[in-house]
Structure 1
Amino acid sequence: MRIASNWVFRETSRLGFAAVLLAGSIQAQADLRVFACEPEWAALAQELSPRSVVYSATTAQQDPHQVQPRPGLISKMRKADLVVCSGAELEVGWLPVLQQKSGNRKVQSRDEGLFFAADYVETIDKAESTGPLAGDIHEDGNPHLHLDPYRILDISKALAERMANLDPASAKIYRDNQSAFADRWQAQIETWEKQAEPLKGLNLIAYHSNFDYLLNWLGINTVGDLEPKPGVPPSSRHLASLLQKSQSLQVDGVIYASYQNAQGADWLSKKLGVPNVELPMSVGGNEDSHDLTGLYGSLIQTLLKTVTGSSS
């Protein structure tokens, strides 16, 4: 009996020690917990780290300027190793509240677990002056930079390096994934640019400045804004002035984001006799935009079909 007891003790100890080693190994290879402010950054984080737990605070059907710091969001941020946001003041109305209430020290500093995409690229439309009368403008530039594929490349490299710094044991994985993503993405850019050639030179009226990066990339002109001031809904007076202005212009269509009210865009497009186009603002904005590649493909194909009457 004593021999059996000693054997059981030794075997139990051996198994227990192996379990400790296994637990340590699992912990060393633990995935990052990523809190993304918008769906586009959740999608990019997933590309670079497929095994990570990634949570998006918003959907493509929400205005990312206006987010309520709900308890659920606070809880998610409290557990995060990395917070990825657009920056350029897009989340200034709600992100600081989440940071403060979460009490998570890891996501307070831009040098550690807080990553702003706008910190790694040049933004457009920087405001010369701001104030209550200027509307919802961003002094640091247009924050909707996820709609420029070249900027996405730069951001993906910076984000992979941040992940590598936070999780050195998996640094090679993040860098290899970024390299593979960059190769695929560059090939997609060439395909998209060829497909979008018929869109060059079109004149569109837009809602807010959501799609400025996309339109600049594709060579599309913005000849009017449905908002009298950034963040201010279109009024009857403003729409009437846009209509009058557009009489002397060649307007090819009116565009707005999937989360925006279509009423003003509908009225103006009918008056002008041009297409009214709802575009997905981010990943998940329609059934085709299930990831970043799908988002760009959907944007281009929607514009081709609706505005030019063709597709590729």
Structure 2
Amino acid sequence: MDPMRFDATLKRAAAAALALLGTALATPAAALTVFACEPEWAALTRVLLPSARVHVATHAEQDPHHIEARPALIAQLRAAEVVVCTGASLEGGWLPTLQERAGNARAREVFFAAAQVSLLNPQPSAIGTPWAGDVHAEGNPHVHLDPRRLLQVTAALAQRLGQEAPAERAGIEQRRAAFEARWRQHIAAWERSAAPLRGQRVAAQHTSFAYLWHWLEIKQDADLEPKPGMAPTPGHLQRLLEGLRSAPPMAVVASNYQDPRSARWLTTQLESAKVKVPLLVLPATVAEDAAEPQLVQWMDTLVRQLLQAAKP
């Protein structure tokens, strides 16, 4: 071959190779698809990996213990590369059904937030029966309501997302460190402002806010449910009322996904006995599309409403 023609052929081949390499470098990695069982874990995923495609199984006004295994959720779980849930049996009534119907092997390797922290009120010998209510042998699953435990979950979730998206690992770690620094500042501010709540007492429906009470040193004296997860009964509420008349709590608390009628009845009855106790319906989590700002606003709201209830 003519040397000049050979040289031109080499140059064209090199240019083509460089063009292909440039295209490959310019093409972004496919976004990681994440299935989050609850909105709080979806929000944390967005903090750590904003490029992720996140599907959320439940919403803020839905009891995460009990949801329907809808076809849309099955399809979302089938496409998921990472599954992030609370664990401690919170999703035990519906997640296994979704996993079975989705037929996605990766969906069986679930990241459970509750496995990353110590849990309140473990009951290793508890056995769930239809008459026992929502039994969580591992412990109370609502760990996201303690902002300190939320940081522990964030660190573990960052590691898992980095394993699943190695090209994003450095960015995930940078965002985790920045979030931790900001979140610790928020924790310090919340604890300063919440100082008047220490030692206060509440009556609440279920133990949804147990970690919030533990963090702020509030005591839940009474549960409106006769057994965990069971609807309040007239007899149980009447017995509670008799005790609360003589020792009124700071507030009667329900979460925004619970029927507030029982809590409202209790506060109304107390008021008729000239005992003024406010009813607080608190948000148990954030919206499905939330990210860091909404997490901060949510915790701000919880602390602010409790402080308002504590005022004489």
With the shorter chain as reference, the TM-score category is 0.7 to 0.9
1:282 to 281, 285, 300: 285
- Which structure 1 segments of 5+ residues have no match? 1-9
Partner of 1:37: 37
Partner of 1:86: 86
2:117 to 117, 121, 142: 121
Q: CA deviation at 1:290?
A: 6.3
Task: Report if the CA contact (8 A) 2:126-2:135 is conserved.
Answer: no
Other structure's SS at 2:98 match: helix
Partner of 1:213: 211
Q: CA deviation at 1:24?
A: 6.7
Other structure's SS at 1:34 match: strand
* d(CA) in 2 for partners of 1:94, 1:20: 46
Deviations 1:195-233 (A, max 9, x none): 111111111001100000001100111110000000110
* d(CA) in 2 for partners of 1:19, 1:262: 62
Partner of 1:47: 47
Aligned AA for 2:310? Answer: T
Deviations 1:125-173 (A, max 9, x none): 1124223232212011111000011111111000000011111111111
Give the alignment of 1:127-166 within 5 angstroms. Answer: 127=123, 128-132=125-129, 133-166=131-164
Residue 48 of structure 2 is aligned to residue 22 of structure 1: no
Residue 236 and residue 290 in structure 1: after superposition, are their counterparts in 2 closer, same or farther (change >3 A)?
farther
Normalized against structure 1, the TM-score is what?
0.88
- Which structure 2 segments of 5+ residues have no match? 1-10, 272-276
Partner of 1:303: 306
Greater relative contact order structure (CA < 8 Å, 6+ sep): 2
Partner of 2:4: none
Aligned AA for 1:48? Answer: L
* d(CA) in 2 for partners of 1:78, 1:20: 33
2:231 to 227, 230, 233: 233
CA RMSD of aligned residues (A): 2.4
Q: CA deviation at 1:18?
A: 3.9
Other structure's SS at 2:301 match: helix
* d(CA) in 1 for partners of 2:86, 2:226: 24
* d(CA) in 2 for partners of 1:121, 1:20: 44
Partner of 1:187: 185
Normalized against structure 2, the TM-score is what?
0.88
* d(CA) in 1 for partners of 2:99, 2:21: 34
Q: CA deviation at 1:17?
A: 8.3
Aligned AA for 1:130? Answer: I
Report sequence identity in percent: 41
Other structure's SS at 2:83 match: strand
Runs of 4 or more above 3 Å deviation: 14-21
The number of aligned residues is: 294
Task: Report if the CA contact (8 A) 1:205-1:251 is conserved.
Answer: yes
Aligned AA for 1:292? Answer: L
Task: Report if the CA contact (8 A) 1:148-1:214 is conserved.
Answer: yes
Partner of 1:265: 263
Q: CA deviation at 1:21?
A: 5.5
